[in-house]
Amino acid sequence: MTDTKGLYIIKEEILPEVLKKTVKAKELLKTKAVKTVNEACERVGISRSAFYKYKDYIFPFYEASLGKIITLAFILEHKPGVLSGILEEIAKARGNVLTINQNIPIQGSASVTISFDTKELSKNIEELLENLEQKPGVQKIEILAQE
């Protein structure tokens, strides 16, 4: 059994600025936009001590989700092609669909859960979620699980 004690998914808008800036500094270092921690900290506006305090404890969701199985819950309009558009978007991002569960539509909407492997994903999960939200017929998306 995997110990997930102390791990949370939190929306960015409620995070303190220092945590957001720590993630930005880590991204600058990862992409080699800067050469040193000092440069990264200066660019984003945090102290080096704050960076070192938080750097090992905060990660963008897409980093934590690579090589994992993600389960998404959708509420979709009951129209031809809506589900296939979702599956096509996941396939274009090189997600490997493992399971699809669709309930009978009620009042023009159907709930669907899709689990897929992110090991070969060609874009980060946040980008994929944004693309899926833009698809015609998608009323709601929620991340149910990440293994």
In this structure, what is the dihedral angle of CA atoms 27, 30, 32, 36, given to the nearest 10 degrees? 90
What DSSP string describes 7-40?
A: -----GGGS-HHHHHHHHHHHHHHTTSSSSHHHH
Q: What is the mean pLDDT of residues 2-27?
A: 80
Cα 3 to its chain centre, rounded Å, is 21
Lowest mean pLDDT among 2-6, 41-45, 59-63, 71-75: 2-6
Residue type for 67, please? Answer: G
How would residue 63 be classed by pLDDT, with cut points 50, 70 and 90? low
Largest Cα separation within the chain, whole Å, is: 57
| pLDDT recorded at residue 1 | 41
Ranges of CATH 3.30.70.260 domains, the chain: 65-146
Q: Tell me the fold of 65-146.
A: Alpha-Beta Plaits (3.30.70)
Long-range CB pairs of 2-11 (<8 Å, 24+ gap) are 2/147, 9/61, 9/143, 9/146
- Look at residue 84 in the predicted model and tell me its pLDDT: 95
pLDDT at 31: 85
Q: Percent of the chain, pLDDT > 70?
A: 89
For 100, phi and psi rounded to 5 degrees? -135, 125
Spatial distance between the Cα atoms of 27 and 3, rounded to a whole number of angstroms = 27
Average of pLDDT values for 54-73?
Answer: 75
pTM over 0.75: no
109 exposure class (CB count in 10 Å sphere: 0-12, 13-18, 19+): middle
Average model confidence (pLDDT) for the chain? Answer: 87
